[in-house]
Structure 1
Amino acid sequence: MSACSVSPVLVGRSTELERLQEALAEAPGAMLIGGEAGVGKTRLLREFAERAGAGGAQVLVGGCLELGAGGLPFAPFTAVLRALVRRIGIDGVAGLLPRSATAGLARLLPEFGEPESDTASGEERARLFELVLTLLERLAERAPTVLVIEDVHWADRSTRDLLAFLARNVSAAPLLVVATYRTDELHRTHPLRPLLAELTRVERVRRMELTRLSRGEVGELVRGLLEGEPPAGLVERVYERSEGNPLFVEALLADDGERALPESLRDLLLAAVQKLPEETRETLRVASAGGTRIEHALLAAVSGLDDAALARVLRPAVEANVLVVDGDGYAFRHALIREAVHDDLLPGEHTQLHARYAEALERDPALVPSGRLWVLLSHHWYSAHEPTWALVSAWRAANDARKAAAYAEQLAMLSRVLELWYKVPDAAARIGARHVEVLEQATLAAELAGEHERGVKLATAALREAEAAGDDARCAALLEQRGRMSYELGRPEYIDDLRAAAARLPADPPSAVRARALASLAHYARPRNNDGEALAAARESLALARRIGDTAAEINALLTLFCVGIDYSGGLAELEEVERIVQRSGERHPLLRVAVLRSHFLEGAGRHAEAAEVARQGVELAREVGLSRTHGAWLSVNLAEPLVSLGRWDEALSCLKQALDQDPMAVVRTSLHVLAGEVALARGDLAEAEAHLGPAGDIKWREAQDYFAMLRLESALRLAQGRIGEALAAVENVLECPGLSDDARYAWPVLVIGARACGEWSDRAAAAAMLERIEKRAAELAVQGPLQEAHRLTFEAQLARAHGRRDLAAWDAAAAAWERIGQPFARARALAEAAEAALAGGERDLAARRLQEAEALAGRLRAAPLARRLEETARRGRLNGTAPSAARSPYGLTPRELEVLRLVAQGRTNREIAEVLFISAKTVSVHVSNILAKLQVPTRGEAAATAHRLGLAD
């Protein structure tokens, strides 16, 4: 590709790659690919070229040069021809052309001699064009060929004409012409515009535009470039500043998204601006201080121009696509263009301009929408180096953000207040709050925004000040808050903070701070197997809350008590009581926790449809209150999980993708990846399942909900891959971790996989020992609710199979249990086992009915591996059609005898043959005797040899 740097990582371009591959498969034709500078055109083509080359195609690449209007004639074609000569030599190229025609290529490359004529004529030009087309078509006759011409927005007229000629006239050989151009370079009078419009009407020409990457794709690109997980907040910073442009992502990543733009990128962005008239550039410099978007009235006020003059001055910038009209204002086409223009200001200009903006807004706040006033004032006063007014404005802006539930923005403004605090001697008096109170507010904003790393640091700073002041109540509150955030970050010291918070204040007199600290201790002690400690703390917290009449503390304690003593056999009375209290309180945030717990309970109780509806409503509420990354992320898991259970897999995958695109915290990502991996596994995409297993394994706490779920995916995937030992190694981790919170709910499905793996393990002695341990672990598990009962019944049936018994009644009971709670995939698998058990018992009609039900379910779910298994079962049981006539079989062997003979030829014993064909060993013995008689051989060995000789063993 071109000489510019390209990323080693390609993300978000699967659809575009498919379109290019389809175009090559359907060649001849042409593909025109547009996109702004840095959006990834070159990177896409490099990936396509590698794939095309691996498939046997040859790829020729040339690029246009930015040399002004005149340019270098045919520069990309000259580059292509030179590369071809290096590859196959002058004689090789000559061999592809008609005799005596080679000299015509001298117009492109001196190595071919001198042109036959110096005459300038349309005929000579036409001959050259025909010659290039012939050369390319002859190459394509040998192997599919791709001709790539990059940056045609810089192309000279001759290059454009030749490109148009090829696109219109390639007609036979598999030749694909690909041209790329920058859409942001195409001003209204650019000469490429009419050509693109003309070529788009050609039947074989396709057009495609690359868009910027989504937030999730930027995260994937960052992780790929860093070869690991990025620091907290880096993806968000890079995405906001790059707006999804891959080139800008790479440039910003080198500076952690914080520092000044690299000079090369700055020059790239300023190129279009430098071509504008001086008065336009001057006004753009003024506009750049106003942000990526600026209202017309505000720009007029700051620039001193009236409406007519401002419109006249800005028109060239709009026509050059540097600015775009956006409602009643203007926007820079890309945020980094504005930044480059702004960074080009001299220091004095920079300060003066921002001061002018701040003064204009102070004079007339109506110049901007009210919700933006304080943020803009803080920005401009800060940039003008006026710390007092920047601090006051930031404090007011933080308050506005808090009211709007914009916690990340609140944190940003409070961080500015803290930064400027010591530059303003009377800061506390100016805003009416002490430094420690600002730290407290910032800590809470960080927690609500999901910025836990930042929150822990802020809490620690606030603790130092509270300790120095001897403020025990404030210390307890901060310790409790820091403990919660440390838990989310996977730091083991979280429990120490929570215990210290509860112990900081005495039980008498009762206080809301102690009640809340005890409730948090109860909630977060459970993952560490401290149910006794959790239960005692929750009860004390509830008693304290009711003594002091603290509704918030009472809600917290009740919810915690529900979690500690959750019983899927019971109802939701306790949770409904909490919900009534919350509704009376008028608070919305506790409703999110209620939604999380209610949907979690309903799913665990096998009430999948109800769970999905509760979670869906919770996701919407989380979005409304600005908590999508925290409570909303948990609720996305709680929505996807019942959708998977209900067999609504496509809907679940869409939900999972949206949640992963939000870059949720690690504990949430684990669950999201597990669910996506299990759907992929059920549909037979083992590579996709493996891709999800990696990030799912990034678990910081051995909590059953996350850890056992990850082991469930790992053991099932390894079993599907035939790596039974590794599958059982994953199961062993569940055996070694009894007593975790919610143990039974998450342990049962892993034990089912373990029993199945033991039944398939060739090391019978090791399998028996492992099975004994699995049975013992299962015996210790409680069974709560219909979901766990379905798992238990499945385990009992699987256990019987592992011991060599196919129990039709057991599998029927399991299938019925799954049907009662509406889990189609689990039911289909149980029906498949039941069908095999029925065949083993000679119940062909029963087997056929179960297979028919299972096939319908597997087909609806697109569960390919299960469908193949059902087809194989039907074939072996002779339930899916009429076998060939025995009269046409060699030696008069019946279809069943042929099946037995094939298995004999494989060295199978009578017992093994019986298991495969679902018949008794005695029946196999009869078949073997008949086979020996018909083949007229005395032994099984000779029968096997005869089968191989006659080709009957395949």
Structure 2
Amino acid sequence: MTTQDSAPVTFLYTDLVNSTELLSRLGDERARRVFQAHHKLLRDATEANSGQEVKWQGDGVMVAFASAAAAVRCAISMQQAVRRPIDGERLEIRIGMNVGEALAWDEADYFGSPVVVAARLCHEAEGGQILCSSVVTVLLSGRQAFQFRAIGELELKGIPESVSACEVVYEEAEPGALLRHTPFVGRTAEATKLNEALQQARAGHGGLVMLVGEPGIGKTRLAEEFAEQARNEGATVLWGRCYEGEWTPPYGPFAEAIQQYAGRADAGQLAEDLGNGAGAIARIAPALRERLPDMAEPPTLEPDEERFRLLDAVSQFLIATSRRAPVVLVLDDLHWGDKGTIAMLRHVARFAPSSRTLVLGAYRDVELDRQHPLADALEALRREANFERLLIKGLDTSDVGRLITTVSERDVPEQLIQAISAETDGNPFFIREVLLDLFDRGAIYQEDGRWTSAASSVEELGIPEGVRQVIGRRLSRLSKDANQLLTAASAFNGGFRFGIAASVAGLDDARALDAIDAALEAQLVRPGGEADSFDFVHANIRQTLYTELSPPRQVRLHRQVAEAMEQAYGGRAEERAAELAYQYHRSSTLPGAERGVDYALAAVDRAEAAYARDEAASFLRMALEMLTEGDERHTRLVARLGLALAWTLNFDEALAAASEAGDLIAAAEGADAAADYLAEGTRTLSHAGFVRGAWALAEQGLRHIGDRRDEAWVWLTAFNLLGQDAQDQENPGIPLDSPEREELARVAEEVLRLESYLLPVQRAFSSRGDVLARVGDDSSRLLFLAGDIRRSLSLWHKMAVEAEQQGGIANAVGSWAMVARCQNALGDFAAAGEAYRHSEALSARLAGPSMQALQIGAARFEIRIAQFVEISEEDIALVEGLVSQPAAEYNWTLAPIRAVAANVFARVERADDAVQQVAALIPALERAPGWSFNYPAMACDAASALWELQRSDHIEVVERNIREKVVAPDFRYPMRDGRLSLARLAALQGRHDEASEWFAKARLVLDEQGARPLRAITDLDEALMYHLRGKPGDKELAAPLVEAALTQFRELGMMGWIRRAEELQQA
């Protein structure tokens, strides 16, 4: 039990008149449908007036309001809404209201005398009546929009003192009342398709449906009706929308939807649904921390990993939530979506087909151009997701007639229906505005139960030609104060704060309250999501008001808004930094715009904390444009923009800005500062995926580095050497040894811990013993040079688990693939398969290819070696693409890829292609050191291809380099062995006795490693050597080796090798 804040709360109760009799007369099933529809009408009115539904009592609701005015408006809306028949039944309700300070049992319920009085007043009211305590009328005294009639003192059950009560006076048959929430008509075909999509989602095959159409065509209304139906059928409905303007909250519609869900979900269930992603999601939905105060902060990752962690966390949250009930996620007004929102949409949509999640989006196709992020995403979504596009057109004439008749509650002349349908093209919003205009002007009125007009023809009614025209007419009938208030509000980004808009409009409190009441009554605005805030009912209304202003007036209005916001928020102004930056930026042609710079920078910090890189870059641009000439912050803001743009994948702009910043820093701060920044830029561009840009910055940075040999020098030198290799036509496709690289490796080892996938720096090692003595827990070199499979497995498994728990999915992908490679090499195929599949599943959650994901390909190849499975067309196409169109950025890995390709081609009997790839390896074998990245694998794979083909092309070169660079230093690699390779090569050249010795040495090493699959293959290969030689006694030498190999193959489950051994046994 808790005490509510000292601010009073207005409580509203409704009760359905004669509900018991209605239930008995209708029967359970029909009554359930009627009561559900009635509840929806009440809920719509509650939401439209910013109320909080506390409880549904079966035949009525209890609602709480922060504003007494909103409560009265809601009560009137409810009474007017229930006029609409439900399934042929006209219902009647009574309403009671009271205001006061109450106690709360929990976050969702209240108790205390103010609550009891409201309930008792409801009980005292007649059908169609609204009773309230006199306290409500006192709070609203002077408000011209409300009328009350005193009914005296009432004795209420359980209340010791009498209560002074009043009746709310309202126009029951107000013509436009039923247009506050436009009746739903037509759309049968579209509703059918949405229902089919929901049923598919219910069966575990979710998808994405886009509602597409012009402004006001009814996309949102269709989504609302479908969402209500889905909710009634047990689905969890989440709803978020995008907002118009240069700035919107990061990932706005997703944050809105999640925070709404969090507000009503059980805390324990919410924590379970959020899982490990809770901390990341809380960055964009801070309300989560109010529900889960013990939530831990997520570990810090690289910027691209943090952004992906957020995208993945939201997707996994939806999947987890959908396991209990299907999820319908509605994302409205996506034409205003920013890049971050659209990126999250793509990510979520990719997983919908394998879950019970239906994503329902809505956008205006007329507002998309080729530069809009959604335009590009739509093409990708057709490929990536179960996607359907529903084009929403205007209502046909019969549905227009149903709409008008429902609103009017009377027969309407067919001629009027035809005219409105023709003039509006069946656009529901346009129809609504036309009807309100006709009602307001008295152009149509009721007479003898029909709607009629004094006009002699439809033309005389003066139906406007367009939406803007009809909105303009309606605005012109409002008071001057109301127009001033709404004009001021049109400059806000999204919703507007009443007090600030009133200040900008120059209205005192009384005049402003009357103005907002008039705007609400005219259905031009509606209460917003926060206390004392409002939204325009439709963006067309805001746009009409705003475009009536000349550009100079628009600029000055934005400055007035900015200054009024600063005055209103005072010391808390930075909490509204993004909106203030927007307002100052829109008025940047006026003196004093530099005051917006600090707000823009605060907005940058918040955007980066929410992983919203595009928004961060936008605010940095704003800051730069608002700086005055000569501001010393200019240089570092350009530098920051260069780094921010890299994470938005605007690579050319990022390189240009970072390069400019390097020159500016050199001039302003000196060479050392420029070198440090350019090293940071090099690292950022490379990690973001723009390796060519990293080369350029590295070259520029080295011009400033001087004699320094520190971390900055390491980054600059490493990428400069990569750039030189990529442009070197003679480079063999693997890093070579050189004095520059030797110095680089020495300095790197001294000044920083190496992470090879980020920083391609090689250390030189004289032998396997040297590796073991120097690398510590460097899992990569332990595995790929020392061949310590068991120890590497432990390290990689730990890294995989930690990366996944922290949300570093890209790193988890690579680490689990490494786990699979280790387990495969040890012969634990079940565990290897599980780790491989887990890595693949995580990889499917990545937004695109990554260097870590390449490890999946390596694991796949090695698993195929161990199982000797058939090479697929997909495998062949993959290696063909890699070797025929190699990317310059990854030229340093081309030679090992060629070696893999040689094996693939050999397995599918494309001997010439395989030999061609071996030939292309010769320069790399000759020029690279044995400790170079993947050298042992490349050399052994070349020997394996020749053995598979029983060819001796280039065999002397291959053998010499394996002998000198792999076996002599004893470098080892999973699923390869230099001694086994020498045995194969010696056998191919007829040196069988030497081959037998190498086979024996291979067995000793492989037994030591625990490399059981390759150990079994060694026995079979020696048996094959004897079989191919065919001398007397060779069959006897081969037989026990085949049997030994078969025994091991069967123990391990190496089915492909079993068949091969059995074939040899029977030959």
Report the structure, 1 or 2, having the larger strand content.
2
When the two structures are superposed, what TM-score results if normalisation uses the length of structure 2? 0.45
Report the structure, 1 or 2, having the larger helix content.
1
When the two structures are superposed, what TM-score results if normalisation uses the length of structure 1? 0.49
Higher relative contact order (CA 8 A, sep 6+): 2
